[in-house]
C-alpha cells in the first residue's frame, strides 16, 4: 500500500510505470477495443481476464462493471439477431407471403445493425452492395461491413463477400478467394454458400474442377431444403454434367424446386416441357411455367415469355404484350429483356417506333453485360459522339492497366469505332491483353491470325490461341476452336471434336455455339442426327434473343455462325462481336 501511495504522490513529477501499473490494464484495454468493434464474445473474455488479473484495482473494478454492461448488451444483441434472422427469411422470399417487402426488411437491417447485430449489418451491406430499395450502390461501405461480419463468423456475410470477389464489384475479381469464402459460408451452415461452392467446383473457377464434389454439395443443399440446390442438381442431370444423363431425374428435381418456390427452376421446367426432353412436349404447359416464373420474380422468365408472344410460340402473337413483358424484365434487371425491348422500339413492334429509346435500351443492355445489346447498339444506332466516347473510355482504362479494356480498344481499331481502322494496332492491343491474361484478348488475337489481318496469317497459331482461351473457360475461344475443327483450318478436320467445343461454348452461354451445335445435330455431322436436340438448341438461342436461333426454329433453316468472331470484354463498355 505504501508503495502505491508514494507513486500517487509523485505521479505529476515522475512516471514510475513499473511501480504503478494496473495488472488489469492490458485485458481491460482489449475489452474496450473489442466492445467498440462489436465483438461481444471477445469483449466478455477480455473483461473477465481483467477482473481475474486484479479484481480490486481501479481497472479491475471497471472491468467488473463493464462485464455487467456487456452481458446486458449481449441480451439486446441476441434479440436483434433474431429480428435480423426473421428479416432474412422475408428477404430470401421464404416467408408466408412469399413477397419481399424490401423497404420494411431494410429498415429492420438498419435498426438491428445499430443494435449490434452482425447479421443485421450483413443485410444492410448486401442492400448497399446491390443498390436495393432506397440504399443505392455503396461498395465502399458494404465491403468493409461484410468483411467485419465474415470475421465474426456470419456465414451469409462470407457468402456475400465471395460474390463480390466473384463479380469484381467493390474489390478486384478473385475467383479463388470467392470459392474460399463460399467454402467458409457453406461450412458455417449457409446452404447458398454450398450451392455457390458447387458451381465453382463444377466449372473449375477458383477451385479444382470436381463434378463429384459439386454433386455432393448440391445434394446436401437440396436435401436440407434449399431449392436452388435442387435446381442446380437438376441441371447436372439434364445436361449430363458429371453424372449419367437422366431427364426424368431432372424433371423431378426441377418440379420439386419449382413447387418449393424457386422460380429459376420453374423456368427450367418450362424448357423441359417445351423441348419434350423429359415429358410429352407441351407448349401450353411451358408457357404456364414461364408465366409462373415471371410472376414469381424471375425476370429471365419474363423475357422468355415475351419471346413467346413476340413470335407466337405456344400463344397467339401479341407484340404489345411482348413489349410489356420485355419492359418488366428490363425494369427488373434482366439485360436480355432490355435488349429485346430496344428491338421493339427500333422496329415499332408493339410500341411507337423510337430510335432514341431503342438506342438507350441497347446501351443499357450492353453496359449491363448483355452482348446482344452491344451488337445492336454499335451497328444499329451508335452516333459518332457515342463512338468517340467509347473509344476514350477504353483507352483510359487500358492505359490504367485494365486488360479487358485493352481488348475492347483493339476492337475499336479493328472495326473503326471512334477511330480510323488499324488492324495492326488492333492485333497489338489484343496481344497486350492476352499477355495480361485476358482470355478474350487471346481469342481475338487468334481471329487476327486466322484471317491474316494486322499480322501474318497463321491458322495454327490461331488454333493455339483459341485453345489457350478455351482452356481458361473463355467461351468464345471454345466456339472459335469449334469453327477450326469443323473446317479443318489450322488443325486436322474433326467434326466430332468441333461438336465438343461447340457444346462447351453453348453450355457457357455462347449462343452462336448453341446454333452451330444445332446445325451439327440437324445434319448429323460429328454425331448422329438429332432433330429434337437441334430444336432444343435453337430454342435456347432464340430465348436468349438470338434471331438466327429463332429463324432456324421457325423456318427450319440451318443458318449458323461458321466463321471465327472477335469479341470485346463486357467489363466497362461495349461488348460486341462481328464476323
The answer to whether the 298-382 and 383-578 domains have the same CATH topology is yes
Kindly indicate the confidence band of residue 93, based on its pLDDT and cuts at 50, 70 and 90. low
What tens digit of pLDDT does each residue of 242-258 get?
888 888 899 999 999 99
Kindly indicate the confidence band of residue 549, based on its pLDDT and cuts at 50, 70 and 90. confident
pTM metric for this prediction: 0.61
Residue, of 455 and 35, whose pLDDT is higher = 455
C-alpha cell at 514: 448453341
Residue of 205, 210, 120 lying closest to 167 (CA atoms) = 205
Q: Contact, 557 vs 546, CB < 8 A? A: no
Q: What is the pLDDT of residue 17?
A: 41
Tell the residue number behind the cell numbers 425494369, with chain if given: 331
What tens digit of pLDDT does each residue of 561-571 get?
444 444 433 33
Sign for the CA dihedral angle at 392, 395, 401, 405 comes to positive
What tens digit of pLDDT does each residue of 503-527 get?
888 887 778 888 888 888 888 888 8
Burial of 497 (0-12, 13-18, 19+ CB in 10 A): middle
Contacts with 396 (C-beta within 8 Å, 6 or more apart), sequence order: none
Cα 579 to Cα 577: distance, rounded to the nearest angstrom: 7
Query: What mean pLDDT value characterizes the chain?
Result: 79
Q: What is the pLDDT of residue 381?
A: 44
Residue 205 Cα distances to 119, 287, 422, angstroms: 28, 34, 35
Least trusted range by pLDDT, from 65-69, 386-390, 425-429: 386-390
- CATH code, 383-578: 1.25.40.10
Kindly indicate the confidence band of residue 540, based on its pLDDT and cuts at 50, 70 and 90. confident
Residue of 204, 205, 202 lying closest to 218 (CA atoms) = 202
Query: In the chain, pLDDT over 90 holds for what percent of residues?
Result: 23
Cα 526 to Cα 26: distance, rounded to the nearest angstrom: 73
What tens digit of pLDDT does each residue of 100-112 get?
466 677 788 888 8
pLDDT reading at 136 higher than 70: no
Strand partners, 577: 567
Q: Which CATH number fits domain 298-382: 3.40.50.970, 1.25.40.10, 3.30.450.20, 3.40.50.300?
A: 1.25.40.10
pLDDT reading at 36 higher than 70: yes
Cα 328 to Cα 43: distance, rounded to the nearest angstrom: 49
pLDDT reading at 31 higher than 80: yes
Q: What is the pLDDT of residue 462?
A: 92
Helix or strand run (H / E) with residue 278:
none
Tell the residue number behind the cell numbers 408472344, with chain if given: 309
Q: What is the pLDDT of residue 131?
A: 64
What tens digit of pLDDT does each residue of 153-201 get?
888 889 988 888 887 778 888 889 999 999 999 999 989 999 999 999 9
Q: What is the pLDDT of residue 141?
A: 81
b/e sequence 419-445, b meaning 16+ C-beta within 10 Å: beebbebbbbbbbbbbeeebbbbbbbb
HSE, CB side, 13 Å, CA atoms: give it for residue 447.
28
Annotated domain spans of the chain: 25-114, 298-382, 383-578
Average pLDDT over residues 415-433: 88
Q: What is the pLDDT of residue 389?
A: 67
Q: Contact, 132 vs 104, CB < 8 A? A: no
Strand partners, 567: 577
Average pLDDT over residues 362-386: 62
- Other residues' Cβ atoms within 10 Å of the Cβ of residue 329: 27
Kindly indicate the confidence band of residue 138, based on its pLDDT and cuts at 50, 70 and 90. confident
Q: Contact, 499 vs 526, CB < 8 A? A: yes
Kindly indicate the confidence band of residue 369, based on its pLDDT and cuts at 50, 70 and 90. low
Q: Contact, 139 vs 147, CB < 8 A? A: no
b/e sequence 41-56, b meaning 16+ C-beta within 10 Å: ebbbebbbbbbebbee
Average pLDDT over residues 198-216: 90
Average pLDDT over residues 461-467: 93
Amino acid at each position: 500500500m505504501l508503495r502505491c501511495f508514494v507513486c500517487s504522490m509523485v505521479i505529476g513529477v515522475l512516471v514510475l510505470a513499473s511501480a504503478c501499473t494496473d495488472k488489469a490494464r492490458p485485458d481491460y484495454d482489449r475489452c474496450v477495443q473489442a466492445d467498440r468493434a462489436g465483438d461481444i464474445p471477445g469483449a466478455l473474455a477480455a473483461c473477465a481476464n481483467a477482473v481475474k488479473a486484479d479484481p480490486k484495482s481501479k481497472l479491475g473494478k471497471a472491468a467488473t462493471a463493464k462485464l455487467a454492461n456487456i452481458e446486458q448488451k449481449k441480451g439486446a444483441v441476441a434479440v436483434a439477431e433474431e429480428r435480423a434472422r426473421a428479416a432474412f427469411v422475408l428477404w430470401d422470399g421464404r416467408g408466408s407471403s412469399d413477397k419481399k417487402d424490401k423497404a420494411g426488411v431494410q429498415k429492420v437491417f438498419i435498426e438491428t445493425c445499430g443494435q449490434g447485430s452482425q447479421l443485421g449489418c450483413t443485410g444492410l451491406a448486401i442492400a448497399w452492395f446491390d443498390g436495393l430499395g432506397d440504399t443505392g450502390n455503396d461498395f465502399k461501405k458494404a465491403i468493409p461491413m461484410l468483411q467485419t461480419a465474415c470475421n465474426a463468423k456470419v456465414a451469409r456475410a462470407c457468402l456475400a463477400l465471395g460474390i463480390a470477389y466473384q463479380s469484381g464489384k467493390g474489390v478486384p475479381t478473385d475467383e479463388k478467394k470467392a470459392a474460399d469464402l463460399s467454402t467458409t459460408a457453406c461450412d458455417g451452415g449457409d446452404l447458398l454458400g454450398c450451392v455457390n461452392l458447387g458451381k465453382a467446383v463444377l466449372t473449375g473457377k477458383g477451385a479444382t474442377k470436381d463434378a463429384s464434389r459439386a454433386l455432393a454439395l448440391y445434394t446436401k443443399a437440396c436435401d436440407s431444403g434449399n431449392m436452388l440446390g435442387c435446381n442446380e442438381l437438376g441441371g447436372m442431370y439434364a445436361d449430363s454434367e458429371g453424372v449419367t444423363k437422366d431427364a426424368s431425374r431432372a424433371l423431378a428435381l426441377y418440379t420439386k424446386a419449382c413447387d418449393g418456390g424457386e422460380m429459376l427452376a420453374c423456368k427450367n421446367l418450362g424448357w423441359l416441357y417445351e423441348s419434350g426432353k423429359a415429358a410429352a412436349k407441351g407448349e401450353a404447359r411451358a408457357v404456364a411455367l414461364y408465366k409462373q416464373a415471371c410472376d414469381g420474380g424471375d425476370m429471365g422468365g419474363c423475357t422468355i415469355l415475351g419471346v413467346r408472344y413476340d413470335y407466337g410460340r405456344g400463344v397467339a402473337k401479341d407484340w404489345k404484350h411482348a413489349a410489356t413483358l420485355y419492359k418488366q424484365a428490363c425494369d427488373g434487371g434482366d439485360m436480355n429483356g432490355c435488349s429485346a425491348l430496344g428491338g421493339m422500339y427500333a422496329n415499332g413492334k408493339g410500341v411507337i417506333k423510337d430510335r432514341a429509346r431503342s438506342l438507350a435500351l441497347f446501351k443499357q443492355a450492353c453496359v449491363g453485360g448483355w452482348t446482344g445489346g452491344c451488337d445492336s447498339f454499335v451497328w444499329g444506332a451508335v452516333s459518332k459522339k457515342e463512338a468517340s466516347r467509347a473509344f476514350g473510355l477504353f483507352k483510359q482504362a487500358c492505359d490504367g492497366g485494365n486488360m479487358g479494356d485493352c481488348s475492347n480498344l483493339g476492337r475499336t481499331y479493328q472495326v473503326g469505332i471512334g477511330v480510323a481502322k488499324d488492324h495492326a494496332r488492333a492485333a497489338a492491343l489484343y496481344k497486350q491483353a492476352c499477355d495480361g491474361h485476358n482470355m478474350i484478348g487471346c481469342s481475338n488475337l487468334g481471329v487476327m491470325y486466322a484471317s491474316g489481318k494486322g499480322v501474318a496469317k497463321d491458322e495454327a497459331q490461331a488454333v493455339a490461341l483459341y485453345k489457350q482461351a478455351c482452356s481458361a473457360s473463355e467461351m468464345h475461344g471454345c466456339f472459335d476452336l469449334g469453327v477450326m475443327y469443323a473446317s479443318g483450318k489450322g488443325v486436322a478436320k474433326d467434326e466430332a471434336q468441333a461438336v465438343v467445343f461447340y457444346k462447351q461454348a453453348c453450355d457457357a452461354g455462347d449462343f452462336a455455339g448453341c446454333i452451330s451445335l444445332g446445325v451439327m445435330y440437324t445434319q448429323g455431322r460429328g454425331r448422329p442426327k438429332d432433330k429434337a436436340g437441334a430444336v432444343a438448341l435453337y430454342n435456347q438461342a432464340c430465348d436468349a434473343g438470338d434471331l438466327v436461333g429463332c429463324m432456324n426454329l421457325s423456318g427450319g433453316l440451318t443458318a449458323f455462325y461458321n466463321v471465327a468472331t472477335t469479341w470485346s470484354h463486357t467489363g466497362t463498355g461495349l461488348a460486341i462481336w462481328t464476323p
